[in-house]
Protein backbone atom coordinates (compact mmCIF):
# COMPACT_ATOMS: atom_id res chain seq x y z
CA UNK A 1 0.00 0.00 0.00
CA UNK A 2 2.75 2.40 0.94
CA UNK A 3 4.41 1.79 -2.46
CA UNK A 4 1.25 2.83 -4.29
CA UNK A 5 0.96 5.97 -2.16
CA UNK A 6 4.59 6.81 -2.82
CA UNK A 7 4.06 6.33 -6.56
CA UNK A 8 0.97 8.53 -6.46
CA UNK A 9 2.85 11.29 -4.62
CA UNK A 10 5.72 11.02 -7.11
CA UNK A 11 3.31 11.41 -10.03
CA UNK A 12 1.64 14.40 -8.41
CA UNK A 13 5.02 15.98 -7.69
CA UNK A 14 6.27 15.34 -11.19
CA UNK A 15 3.10 16.81 -12.67
CA UNK A 16 3.44 19.89 -10.51
CA UNK A 17 7.04 20.42 -11.59
CA UNK A 18 6.10 19.96 -15.26
CA UNK A 19 3.17 22.37 -14.93
CA UNK A 20 5.41 24.92 -13.27
CA UNK A 21 7.99 24.62 -16.02
CA UNK A 22 5.31 25.20 -18.65
CA UNK A 23 3.76 28.08 -16.78
CA UNK A 24 6.97 30.08 -16.59
CA UNK A 25 10.26 29.65 -18.47
CA UNK A 26 13.32 29.38 -16.23
CA UNK A 27 15.28 32.53 -15.46
CA UNK A 28 18.27 30.95 -17.18
CA UNK A 29 17.52 28.88 -20.28
CA UNK A 30 20.34 27.54 -22.40
CA UNK A 31 19.86 28.53 -26.08
CA UNK A 32 18.85 25.68 -28.35
CA UNK A 33 19.54 27.40 -31.68
CA UNK A 34 22.99 26.75 -33.07
CA UNK A 35 24.95 29.49 -34.78
CA UNK A 36 28.31 29.94 -36.46
CA UNK A 37 30.20 32.46 -34.36
CA UNK A 38 33.17 32.23 -36.71
CA UNK A 39 31.17 33.75 -39.57
CA UNK A 40 30.93 37.01 -37.64
CA UNK A 41 34.68 37.09 -37.00
CA UNK A 42 35.64 36.34 -40.60
CA UNK A 43 38.11 38.95 -41.88
CA UNK A 44 36.05 39.73 -44.99
CA UNK A 45 32.87 40.14 -42.95
CA UNK A 46 34.51 42.39 -40.37
CA UNK A 47 36.09 44.45 -43.16
CA UNK A 48 32.79 45.32 -44.81
CA UNK A 49 31.19 46.16 -41.44
CA UNK A 50 34.16 48.42 -40.72
CA UNK A 51 33.71 50.14 -44.11
CA UNK A 52 30.05 50.82 -43.39
CA UNK A 53 30.89 52.13 -39.93
CA UNK A 54 33.71 54.26 -41.32
CA UNK A 55 31.43 55.90 -43.88
CA UNK A 56 29.10 57.15 -41.15
CA UNK A 57 31.90 58.08 -38.76
CA UNK A 58 33.51 60.27 -41.43
CA UNK A 59 30.18 61.97 -42.02
CA UNK A 60 29.70 62.59 -38.30
CA UNK A 61 33.20 64.01 -38.05
CA UNK A 62 32.64 66.38 -40.96
CA UNK A 63 29.35 67.58 -39.45
CA UNK A 64 30.78 67.65 -35.91
CA UNK A 65 28.02 65.33 -34.69
CA UNK A 66 28.41 63.11 -31.64
CA UNK A 67 26.52 59.83 -32.17
CA UNK A 68 24.23 58.38 -29.54
CA UNK A 69 25.70 55.68 -27.26
CA UNK A 70 25.26 51.99 -27.98
CA UNK A 71 21.79 50.61 -27.25
CA UNK A 72 21.27 47.85 -24.65
CA UNK A 73 21.35 44.27 -25.92
CA UNK A 74 17.63 43.77 -25.37
CA UNK A 75 16.75 46.93 -27.34
CA UNK A 76 18.77 45.65 -30.31
CA UNK A 77 17.10 42.25 -30.00
CA UNK A 78 13.67 43.90 -30.05
CA UNK A 79 14.55 45.89 -33.19
CA UNK A 80 15.71 42.79 -35.00
CA UNK A 81 12.67 40.81 -33.97
CA UNK A 82 10.21 43.50 -35.06
CA UNK A 83 12.01 44.26 -38.32
CA UNK A 84 12.56 40.67 -39.41
CA UNK A 85 9.70 38.73 -37.77
CA UNK A 86 7.04 41.35 -37.08
CA UNK A 87 6.87 40.59 -33.36
CA UNK A 88 8.74 41.09 -30.09
CA UNK A 89 11.05 38.50 -28.49
CA UNK A 90 9.26 36.05 -26.22
CA UNK A 91 10.09 35.82 -22.54
CA UNK A 92 11.49 32.38 -23.30
CA UNK A 93 13.81 33.80 -25.98
CA UNK A 94 14.94 36.62 -23.71
CA UNK A 95 16.02 34.05 -21.11
CA UNK A 96 17.99 32.16 -23.77
CA UNK A 97 19.63 35.36 -25.04
CA UNK A 98 20.71 36.51 -21.58
CA UNK A 99 22.15 33.09 -20.78
CA UNK A 100 24.92 33.82 -23.30
CA UNK A 101 27.99 36.01 -22.68
CA UNK A 102 27.37 39.59 -23.82
CA UNK A 103 29.81 39.33 -26.74
CA UNK A 104 27.92 36.37 -28.24
CA UNK A 105 24.35 37.62 -27.93
CA UNK A 106 24.02 39.63 -31.14
CA UNK A 107 25.42 36.90 -33.39
CA UNK A 108 23.29 34.22 -31.75
CA UNK A 109 20.11 36.31 -31.96
CA UNK A 110 20.64 37.17 -35.64
CA UNK A 111 21.11 33.53 -36.57
CA UNK A 112 18.25 32.45 -34.30
CA UNK A 113 15.96 34.73 -36.31
CA UNK A 114 17.35 33.71 -39.70
CA UNK A 115 16.67 30.05 -38.87
CA UNK A 116 13.09 30.76 -37.77
CA UNK A 117 10.20 30.25 -40.20
CA UNK A 118 8.62 33.40 -38.77
CA UNK A 119 11.43 35.36 -40.43
CA UNK A 120 10.93 33.72 -43.83
CA UNK A 121 7.17 34.28 -43.76
CA UNK A 122 7.33 37.88 -42.55
CA UNK A 123 10.21 38.83 -44.84
CA UNK A 124 8.33 37.28 -47.76
CA UNK A 125 5.23 39.33 -46.95
CA UNK A 126 7.24 42.56 -46.87
CA UNK A 127 8.94 41.77 -50.20
CA UNK A 128 5.60 40.77 -51.71
CA UNK A 129 4.12 44.18 -50.97
CA UNK A 130 6.68 45.67 -53.34
CA UNK A 131 6.35 43.02 -56.07
CA UNK A 132 2.62 42.21 -56.16
CA UNK A 133 1.07 44.73 -53.79
CA UNK A 134 -1.59 43.94 -51.21
CA UNK A 135 -4.55 43.45 -53.52
CA UNK A 136 -6.37 40.15 -53.93
CA UNK A 137 -5.93 40.25 -57.70
CA UNK A 138 -8.20 38.70 -60.32
CA UNK A 139 -10.35 35.82 -59.09
CA UNK A 140 -9.06 32.35 -60.06
CA UNK A 141 -5.96 33.69 -61.87
CA UNK A 142 -4.07 34.84 -58.77
CA UNK A 143 -3.09 33.04 -55.56
CA UNK A 144 -1.41 35.42 -53.14
CA UNK A 145 -1.04 32.80 -50.40
CA UNK A 146 0.68 30.40 -52.79
CA UNK A 147 2.95 33.24 -53.86
CA UNK A 148 3.84 34.10 -50.25
CA UNK A 149 4.42 30.46 -49.35
CA UNK A 150 6.72 29.98 -52.35
CA UNK A 151 8.63 33.18 -51.60
CA UNK A 152 9.03 32.12 -47.97
CA UNK A 153 10.33 28.72 -49.11
CA UNK A 154 12.93 30.44 -51.30
CA UNK A 155 14.12 32.44 -48.30
CA UNK A 156 14.29 29.31 -46.11
CA UNK A 157 16.37 27.61 -48.81
CA UNK A 158 18.71 30.65 -48.93
CA UNK A 159 18.02 31.06 -52.64
CA UNK A 160 20.13 33.90 -54.07
CA UNK A 161 18.02 37.01 -54.54
CA UNK A 162 18.88 37.37 -58.23
CA UNK A 163 17.50 33.89 -58.92
CA UNK A 164 14.28 34.72 -57.08
CA UNK A 165 13.81 37.84 -59.21
CA UNK A 166 14.57 36.00 -62.46
CA UNK A 167 11.91 33.44 -61.56
CA UNK A 168 9.38 36.18 -60.87
CA UNK A 169 9.93 38.00 -64.16
CA UNK A 170 10.39 35.05 -66.52
CA UNK A 171 8.62 31.95 -65.11
CA UNK A 172 5.96 30.10 -67.09
CA UNK A 173 3.18 27.81 -65.87
CA UNK A 174 0.07 27.78 -63.71
CA UNK A 175 -0.05 30.16 -60.77
CA UNK A 176 -0.95 27.23 -58.51
CA UNK A 177 1.82 24.92 -59.72
CA UNK A 178 4.44 27.61 -60.44
CA UNK A 179 3.72 30.23 -57.76
CA UNK A 180 6.33 32.66 -59.13
CA UNK A 181 3.99 33.30 -62.09
CA UNK A 182 1.59 35.08 -59.74
CA UNK A 183 3.87 38.08 -60.24
CA UNK A 184 2.45 38.23 -63.78
CA UNK A 185 -1.07 36.89 -63.25
CA UNK A 186 -1.91 39.49 -60.58
CA UNK A 187 -1.98 42.06 -63.40
CA UNK A 188 -4.45 40.09 -65.57
CA UNK A 189 -7.21 42.28 -67.02
CA UNK A 190 -10.55 40.39 -66.95
CA UNK A 191 -12.16 42.97 -69.24
CA UNK A 192 -9.46 42.41 -71.87
CA UNK A 193 -9.34 38.63 -72.20
CA UNK A 194 -7.23 38.21 -69.02
CA UNK A 195 -4.20 39.64 -70.76
CA UNK A 196 -1.43 40.67 -68.38
CA UNK A 197 -0.90 44.41 -68.09
CA UNK A 198 2.54 45.36 -69.54
CA UNK A 199 2.37 48.83 -67.99
CA UNK A 200 1.82 47.53 -64.46
CA UNK A 201 4.44 44.82 -64.90
CA UNK A 202 7.05 47.28 -66.13
CA UNK A 203 6.25 49.56 -63.21
CA UNK A 204 6.56 46.71 -60.69
CA UNK A 205 9.85 45.53 -62.17
CA UNK A 206 11.48 48.93 -62.05
CA UNK A 207 10.17 49.99 -58.64
CA UNK A 208 10.54 46.68 -56.76
CA UNK A 209 13.77 45.38 -58.31
CA UNK A 210 15.61 48.49 -59.48
CA UNK A 211 14.34 51.15 -57.10
CA UNK A 212 13.38 53.37 -60.04
CA UNK A 213 10.12 55.16 -60.79
CA UNK A 214 10.17 54.73 -64.54
CA UNK A 215 6.39 54.40 -64.53
CA UNK A 216 6.29 58.12 -63.74
CA UNK A 217 7.37 58.55 -67.37
CA UNK A 218 4.27 56.73 -68.65
CA UNK A 219 2.46 60.02 -69.27
CA UNK A 220 5.37 62.48 -69.38
CA UNK A 221 9.13 62.55 -69.43
CA UNK A 222 10.80 62.08 -66.06
CA UNK A 223 11.80 65.46 -64.56
CA UNK A 224 14.94 64.25 -62.76
CA UNK A 225 16.28 61.37 -64.85
CA UNK A 226 17.61 60.99 -68.37
CA UNK A 227 14.97 58.41 -69.40
CA UNK A 228 11.71 59.40 -70.96
CA UNK A 229 8.27 58.19 -71.94
CA UNK A 230 9.57 56.13 -74.83
CA UNK A 231 12.02 54.33 -72.51
CA UNK A 232 9.19 53.18 -70.24
CA UNK A 233 7.08 52.01 -73.18
CA UNK A 234 10.06 50.10 -74.58
CA UNK A 235 10.44 48.40 -71.21
CA UNK A 236 6.74 47.47 -71.11
CA UNK A 237 7.14 45.88 -74.56
CA UNK A 238 9.11 43.02 -73.01
CA UNK A 239 5.72 41.76 -71.77
CA UNK A 240 3.99 42.17 -75.13
CA UNK A 241 4.27 38.45 -75.92
CA UNK A 242 3.16 37.27 -72.47
CA UNK A 243 -0.20 35.52 -72.27
CA UNK A 244 -2.43 33.91 -69.63
CA UNK A 245 -4.48 30.88 -70.59
CA UNK A 246 -5.30 27.26 -69.73
CA UNK A 247 -1.57 26.51 -69.55
CA UNK A 248 -1.05 29.38 -67.19
CA UNK A 249 1.42 32.16 -67.90
CA UNK A 250 3.33 31.58 -71.14
CA UNK A 251 5.09 33.42 -73.96
CA UNK A 252 3.96 33.32 -77.56
CA UNK A 253 3.13 35.53 -80.49
CA UNK A 254 2.12 39.14 -80.25
CA UNK A 255 3.44 42.65 -79.84
CA UNK A 256 2.93 45.50 -77.45
CA UNK A 257 0.94 48.19 -79.20
CA UNK A 258 -0.08 51.67 -78.12
CA UNK A 259 -2.10 54.46 -79.69
CA UNK A 260 0.11 56.33 -82.11
CA UNK A 261 -0.09 59.82 -80.67
CA UNK A 262 2.86 60.99 -82.74
CA UNK A 263 1.24 60.37 -86.10
CA UNK A 264 -0.75 63.11 -87.80
CA UNK A 265 -4.51 62.60 -87.40
CA UNK A 266 -6.74 63.28 -90.44
CA UNK A 267 -9.78 61.36 -89.24
CA UNK A 268 -11.30 59.55 -86.28
CA UNK A 269 -9.94 56.33 -87.78
CA UNK A 270 -6.42 57.72 -87.78
CA UNK A 271 -6.82 58.64 -84.11
CA UNK A 272 -7.36 54.96 -83.29
CA UNK A 273 -4.29 53.72 -85.12
CA UNK A 274 -1.74 51.87 -83.04
CA UNK A 275 1.95 51.39 -83.42
CA UNK A 276 4.13 48.50 -82.33
CA UNK A 277 6.62 49.28 -79.56
CA UNK A 278 10.02 47.62 -79.77
CA UNK A 279 11.45 46.19 -76.53
CA UNK A 280 14.37 48.17 -75.15
CA UNK A 281 16.04 49.15 -71.90
CA UNK A 282 16.54 52.72 -70.62
CA UNK A 283 20.25 52.30 -69.85
CA UNK A 284 23.14 49.85 -70.13
CA UNK A 285 21.85 48.14 -73.32
CA UNK A 286 25.06 46.13 -73.48
CA UNK A 287 23.79 44.07 -70.52
CA UNK A 288 20.74 42.88 -72.44
CA UNK A 289 21.34 39.36 -73.85
CA UNK A 290 20.37 38.48 -77.42
CA UNK A 291 18.96 35.02 -76.66
CA UNK A 292 15.90 33.83 -74.76
CA UNK A 293 12.29 34.96 -74.55
CA UNK A 294 11.68 38.63 -74.06
CA UNK A 295 10.98 38.14 -70.36
CA UNK A 296 14.09 35.99 -69.92
CA UNK A 297 16.18 38.69 -71.55
CA UNK A 298 14.62 41.37 -69.33
CA UNK A 299 15.17 39.24 -66.22
CA UNK A 300 18.84 38.75 -67.13
CA UNK A 301 19.27 42.50 -67.68
CA UNK A 302 17.59 43.45 -64.39
CA UNK A 303 19.65 41.00 -62.32
CA UNK A 304 22.98 41.42 -64.09
CA UNK A 305 25.65 42.02 -61.47
CA UNK A 306 26.84 44.98 -63.54
CA UNK A 307 23.42 46.67 -63.29
CA UNK A 308 24.11 49.25 -60.56
CA UNK A 309 20.48 49.65 -59.53
CA UNK A 310 19.66 46.01 -58.79
CA UNK A 311 21.78 45.60 -55.66
CA UNK A 312 21.21 49.16 -54.50
CA UNK A 313 17.43 48.66 -54.63
CA UNK A 314 17.34 45.60 -52.37
CA UNK A 315 19.94 47.01 -49.98
CA UNK A 316 17.89 50.21 -49.63
CA UNK A 317 14.71 48.20 -49.02
CA UNK A 318 16.22 45.77 -46.49
CA UNK A 319 17.86 48.67 -44.66
CA UNK A 320 14.45 50.35 -44.42
CA UNK A 321 12.79 47.16 -43.19
CA UNK A 322 15.35 46.88 -40.39
CA UNK A 323 15.74 50.55 -39.42
CA UNK A 324 12.32 51.91 -40.30
CA UNK A 325 13.40 54.26 -43.10
CA UNK A 326 15.60 53.87 -46.20
CA UNK A 327 19.02 55.32 -46.86
CA UNK A 328 17.55 56.97 -49.96
CA UNK A 329 13.96 58.15 -49.53
CA UNK A 330 11.57 57.25 -51.13
CA UNK A 331 12.74 53.65 -51.16
CA UNK A 332 11.86 53.19 -54.85
CA UNK A 333 13.37 56.44 -56.11
CA UNK A 334 17.09 55.86 -56.54
CA UNK A 335 17.09 58.09 -59.62
CA UNK A 336 16.96 61.13 -57.35
CA UNK A 337 19.65 63.76 -57.91
CA UNK A 338 20.80 63.28 -54.30
CA UNK A 339 24.19 61.47 -54.24
CA UNK A 340 24.10 57.79 -53.31
CA UNK A 341 25.19 57.39 -49.64
CA UNK A 342 28.57 55.72 -49.29
CA UNK A 343 27.12 53.03 -47.00
CA UNK A 344 24.52 52.09 -49.64
CA UNK A 345 27.19 51.55 -52.27
CA UNK A 346 29.44 49.59 -49.88
CA UNK A 347 26.57 47.27 -48.96
CA UNK A 348 25.48 46.93 -52.60
CA UNK A 349 29.00 45.99 -53.71
CA UNK A 350 29.28 43.41 -50.94
CA UNK A 351 25.82 42.02 -51.75
CA UNK A 352 26.86 41.53 -55.39
CA UNK A 353 30.28 40.11 -54.50
CA UNK A 354 28.63 37.47 -52.29
CA UNK A 355 26.16 36.28 -54.91
CA UNK A 356 23.16 38.25 -53.68
CA UNK A 357 23.01 36.53 -50.29
CA UNK A 358 20.15 38.10 -48.32
CA UNK A 359 21.29 36.52 -45.05
CA UNK A 360 24.73 38.04 -45.29
CA UNK A 361 23.22 41.44 -46.08
CA UNK A 362 21.04 41.24 -42.97
CA UNK A 363 23.98 40.15 -40.82
CA UNK A 364 26.15 43.05 -42.02
CA UNK A 365 23.43 45.65 -41.42
CA UNK A 366 22.65 44.23 -37.97
CA UNK A 367 26.32 44.33 -36.96
CA UNK A 368 26.84 47.89 -38.20
CA UNK A 369 27.27 50.57 -35.56
CA UNK A 370 24.31 52.59 -36.85
CA UNK A 371 21.90 49.73 -36.23
CA UNK A 372 23.18 49.29 -32.66
CA UNK A 373 23.00 52.95 -31.62
CA UNK A 374 20.52 54.04 -28.99
CA UNK A 375 17.57 56.17 -30.08
CA UNK A 376 18.24 58.58 -27.19
CA UNK A 377 21.25 60.34 -25.73
CA UNK A 378 22.10 62.63 -22.82
CA UNK A 379 21.19 65.51 -25.14
CA UNK A 380 18.31 66.29 -27.47
CA UNK A 381 18.42 64.36 -30.75
CA UNK A 382 18.13 66.95 -33.52
CA UNK A 383 16.84 66.65 -37.07
CA UNK A 384 20.46 66.83 -38.29
CA UNK A 385 21.32 63.89 -36.03
CA UNK A 386 18.50 61.85 -37.54
CA UNK A 387 19.48 62.71 -41.11
CA UNK A 388 23.06 61.69 -40.36
CA UNK A 389 21.95 58.40 -38.74
CA UNK A 390 23.67 59.47 -35.51
CA UNK A 391 20.87 57.80 -33.51
CA UNK A 392 18.57 54.89 -34.23
CA UNK A 393 15.47 56.38 -35.91
CA UNK A 394 12.26 56.31 -33.90
CA UNK A 395 9.51 54.83 -36.08
CA UNK A 396 5.91 53.96 -35.33
CA UNK A 397 5.25 50.22 -35.54
CA UNK A 398 3.38 48.85 -38.52
CA UNK A 399 -0.09 47.40 -37.80
CA UNK A 400 1.06 43.77 -38.07
CA UNK A 401 3.99 44.52 -35.75
CA UNK A 402 1.63 45.97 -33.14
CA UNK A 403 -0.58 42.88 -33.40
CA UNK A 404 2.40 40.51 -33.37
CA UNK A 405 3.77 42.21 -30.28
CA UNK A 406 0.46 41.95 -28.42
CA UNK A 407 0.03 38.27 -29.23
CA UNK A 408 3.59 37.29 -28.32
CA UNK A 409 3.92 39.40 -25.18
CA UNK A 410 0.80 37.78 -23.76
CA UNK A 411 2.49 34.36 -23.92
CA UNK A 412 5.50 33.40 -21.84
CA UNK A 413 6.52 30.79 -24.41
CA UNK A 414 7.49 31.40 -28.02
CA UNK A 415 4.70 31.31 -30.59
CA UNK A 416 6.38 30.07 -33.75
CA UNK A 417 6.17 27.37 -36.42
CA UNK A 418 6.78 24.73 -33.74
CA UNK A 419 3.74 25.80 -31.72
CA UNK A 420 0.58 23.72 -31.80
CA UNK A 421 -1.49 24.21 -34.96
CA UNK A 422 -4.45 25.53 -32.95
CA UNK A 423 -2.26 28.20 -31.33
CA UNK A 424 -0.90 29.26 -34.72
CA UNK A 425 -4.35 29.45 -36.26
CA UNK A 426 -5.65 31.54 -33.36
CA UNK A 427 -2.67 33.87 -33.69
CA UNK A 428 -3.24 34.26 -37.44
CA UNK A 429 -6.94 34.98 -36.98
CA UNK A 430 -6.31 37.45 -34.14
CA UNK A 431 -3.64 39.35 -36.06
CA UNK A 432 -5.65 39.44 -39.28
CA UNK A 433 -8.73 40.81 -37.54
CA UNK A 434 -6.70 43.36 -35.58
CA UNK A 435 -4.86 44.66 -38.67
CA UNK A 436 -8.14 45.00 -40.54
CA UNK A 437 -9.58 47.11 -37.72
CA UNK A 438 -6.36 49.00 -36.96
CA UNK A 439 -5.79 49.87 -40.63
CA UNK A 440 -3.28 48.20 -42.95
CA UNK A 441 -0.63 50.55 -44.33
CA UNK A 442 -0.90 48.82 -47.73
CA UNK A 443 1.91 49.31 -50.21
CA UNK A 444 3.04 52.52 -48.51
CA UNK A 445 5.81 50.63 -46.77
CA UNK A 446 7.84 53.44 -45.25
CA UNK A 447 5.66 56.53 -45.46
CA UNK A 448 5.15 58.54 -42.31
CA UNK A 449 2.53 56.86 -40.14
CA UNK A 450 0.53 58.80 -37.60
CA UNK A 451 -1.55 57.37 -34.80
CA UNK A 452 -5.29 57.94 -34.98
CA UNK A 453 -8.09 58.16 -32.42
CA UNK A 454 -9.75 54.93 -33.68
CA UNK A 455 -6.42 53.11 -33.36
CA UNK A 456 -6.00 54.33 -29.78
CA UNK A 457 -9.55 53.30 -28.92
CA UNK A 458 -8.93 49.86 -30.44
CA UNK A 459 -5.82 49.47 -28.29
CA UNK A 460 -7.64 50.55 -25.13
CA UNK A 461 -10.91 48.68 -25.64
CA UNK A 462 -10.33 46.16 -28.44
CA UNK A 463 -11.08 42.47 -28.14
CA UNK A 464 -7.52 41.33 -28.96
CA UNK A 465 -5.95 42.97 -25.92
CA UNK A 466 -8.92 42.11 -23.75
CA UNK A 467 -8.71 38.42 -24.65
CA UNK A 468 -4.95 38.34 -24.30
CA UNK A 469 -4.67 39.85 -20.83
CA UNK A 470 -7.77 38.44 -19.14
CA UNK A 471 -7.41 35.83 -16.40
CA UNK A 472 -6.60 32.55 -18.14
CA UNK A 473 -3.98 29.85 -17.60
CA UNK A 474 -2.89 30.46 -21.20
CA UNK A 475 -2.13 34.16 -20.74
CA UNK A 476 1.14 35.58 -19.47
CA UNK A 477 -0.49 37.94 -16.99
CA UNK A 478 -2.16 35.06 -15.14
CA UNK A 479 0.90 32.81 -15.27
CA UNK A 480 3.12 35.54 -13.88
CA UNK A 481 0.59 36.19 -11.11
CA UNK A 482 0.71 32.51 -10.18
CA UNK A 483 4.43 31.89 -10.49
CA UNK A 484 6.30 35.10 -9.70
CA UNK A 485 7.62 34.71 -6.12
CA UNK A 486 7.17 38.40 -5.27
CA UNK A 487 5.94 41.71 -6.71
CA UNK A 488 9.36 42.99 -7.87
CA UNK A 489 9.84 39.79 -9.89
CA UNK A 490 6.32 40.09 -11.31
CA UNK A 491 6.88 43.68 -12.47
CA UNK A 492 10.26 42.82 -14.00
CA UNK A 493 8.83 39.83 -15.88
CA UNK A 494 5.89 41.85 -17.22
CA UNK A 495 8.24 44.55 -18.52
CA UNK A 496 10.43 41.97 -20.23
CA UNK A 497 7.43 40.30 -21.85
CA UNK A 498 5.87 43.49 -23.21
CA UNK A 499 8.67 46.04 -23.66
CA UNK A 500 11.74 43.75 -23.83
CA UNK A 501 13.46 45.64 -21.04
CA UNK A 502 13.52 45.86 -17.28
CA UNK A 503 11.74 48.69 -15.45
CA UNK A 504 13.62 51.73 -14.22
CA UNK A 505 13.79 52.12 -10.43
CA UNK A 506 10.99 54.71 -10.57
CA UNK A 507 8.78 52.45 -12.70
CA UNK A 508 9.46 49.46 -10.49
CA UNK A 509 8.61 51.41 -7.35
CA UNK A 510 5.35 52.70 -8.86
CA UNK A 511 4.03 49.34 -10.03
CA UNK A 512 5.23 47.42 -6.99
CA UNK A 513 3.14 49.75 -4.86
CA UNK A 514 0.17 49.13 -7.18
CA UNK A 515 0.58 45.37 -6.91
CA UNK A 516 0.75 45.63 -3.14
CA UNK A 517 -2.83 46.91 -3.08
CA UNK A 518 -4.92 43.98 -1.86
CA UNK A 519 -8.24 45.42 -3.10
CA UNK A 520 -8.10 43.23 -6.21
CA UNK A 521 -6.94 39.63 -6.62
CA UNK A 522 -3.33 39.30 -7.77
CA UNK A 523 -4.21 38.04 -11.31
CA UNK A 524 -6.46 41.10 -11.75
CA UNK A 525 -3.62 43.39 -10.66
CA UNK A 526 -1.27 41.77 -13.19
CA UNK A 527 -3.95 42.11 -15.85
CA UNK A 528 -4.07 45.87 -15.18
CA UNK A 529 -0.28 46.07 -15.36
CA UNK A 530 -0.22 44.32 -18.74
CA UNK A 531 -2.95 46.63 -20.05
CA UNK A 532 -0.95 49.68 -19.00
CA UNK A 533 2.28 48.43 -20.60
CA UNK A 534 0.68 47.34 -23.88
CA UNK A 535 -1.08 50.70 -24.15
CA UNK A 536 2.04 52.69 -23.35
CA UNK A 537 3.46 54.92 -26.09
CA UNK A 538 6.72 52.99 -25.92
CA UNK A 539 5.03 49.75 -26.97
CA UNK A 540 3.86 51.30 -30.26
CA UNK A 541 7.29 52.49 -31.42
CA UNK A 542 10.52 50.91 -32.55
CA UNK A 543 13.49 52.50 -30.86
Residue ranges of domains in the chain: 137-303, 394-542
Rg (CA), the chain: 27
What separation in angstroms does the CA of 459 have from each of 34, 136, 338, 455? 37, 27, 40, 6
Distance separating alpha carbons of residues 320 and 536, to the nearest angstrom: 25
Say how many C-beta atoms besides its own lie within 10 A of residue 52's C-beta.
22
Distance separating alpha carbons of residues 347 and 286, to the nearest angstrom: 25
Mean pLDDT calculated for residue range 440-458: 71
Are the CB atoms for 480 and 412 separated by under 8 Å? Answer: yes
Distance separating alpha carbons of residues 153 and 117, to the nearest angstrom: 9
Mean pLDDT calculated for residue range 256-270: 61
Res 63: pLDDT:
94
Pairing of strands 395-396, 541-542: antiparallel
The listed range with the strongest mean pLDDT (271-280, 360-369, 383-392) is 360-369
End-to-end CA distance of the chain: 62
Distance separating alpha carbons of residues 319 and 372, to the nearest angstrom: 13
Place 8 in a pLDDT band, splitting at 50, 70 and 90: very low
Is residue 184 helix, strand or coil? Answer: helix
We find that the CATH architecture of domain 394-542 is Orthogonal Bundle (1.10)
Mean pLDDT, the chain, rounded, equals 87
Q: For residue 338, is pLDDT > 50?
A: yes
Say how many C-beta atoms besides its own lie within 10 A of residue 172's C-beta.
18
- HEC secondary structure over 413-470: CCCCCCCCHHHHHHHHHHHHHHHHHHCCCCCCCCCCCCCCHHHHHHHHHCHHHHHHHC
Count of CA atoms in the C-beta half-sphere (13 A) of 297: 20
The pTM score is: 0.90
Q: For residue 466, is pLDDT > 60?
A: yes
Is residue 99 helix, strand or coil? Answer: helix
Res 442: pLDDT:
67
Say how many C-beta atoms besides its own lie within 10 A of residue 279's C-beta.
20
Res 247: pLDDT:
87
Place 275 in a pLDDT band, splitting at 50, 70 and 90: confident
Place 25 in a pLDDT band, splitting at 50, 70 and 90: low
What separation in angstroms does the CA of 208 have from each of 122, 153, 354, 463? 17, 20, 21, 36
- CB burial of 207-238 (b: ≥16 within 10 Å; e: otherwise) equals bbbbbbbbbbbeeeebeebebebebbbbbbbb
Give 141-181 pLDDT, tens digit per residue: 999 999 999 999 999 999 999 999 999 999 999 999 999 99
**Sign of the C-alpha dihedral computed for residues 357, 313, 127 and 228 taken in this order:** negative
Lowest mean pLDDT among 292-306, 381-395, 449-463: 449-463
Mean pLDDT calculated for residue range 196-204: 94
Are the CB atoms for 493 and 503 separated by under 8 Å? Answer: no
Residues paired with residue 244 on neighbouring β-strands, in sequence order: 249
Mean pLDDT calculated for residue range 259-270: 56
Amino acid sequence: MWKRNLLFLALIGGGTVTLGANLMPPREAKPVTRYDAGAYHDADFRAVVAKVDGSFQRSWGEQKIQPAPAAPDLAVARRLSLGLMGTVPSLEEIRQLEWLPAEERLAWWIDHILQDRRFADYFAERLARASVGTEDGPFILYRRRRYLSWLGDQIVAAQPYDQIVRDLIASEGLWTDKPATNFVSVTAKPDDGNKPDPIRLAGRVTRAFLGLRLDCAECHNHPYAHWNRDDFQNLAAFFGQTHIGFKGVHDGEGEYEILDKKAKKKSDQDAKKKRVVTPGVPFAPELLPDEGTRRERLAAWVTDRRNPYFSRAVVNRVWAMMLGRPLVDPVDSLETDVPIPAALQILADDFTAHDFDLRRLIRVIACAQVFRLDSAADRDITEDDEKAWAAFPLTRLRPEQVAGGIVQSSSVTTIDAESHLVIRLIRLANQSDFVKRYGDSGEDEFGGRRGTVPQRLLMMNGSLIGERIKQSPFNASTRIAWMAPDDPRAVETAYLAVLTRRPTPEEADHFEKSLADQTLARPQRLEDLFWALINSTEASWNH
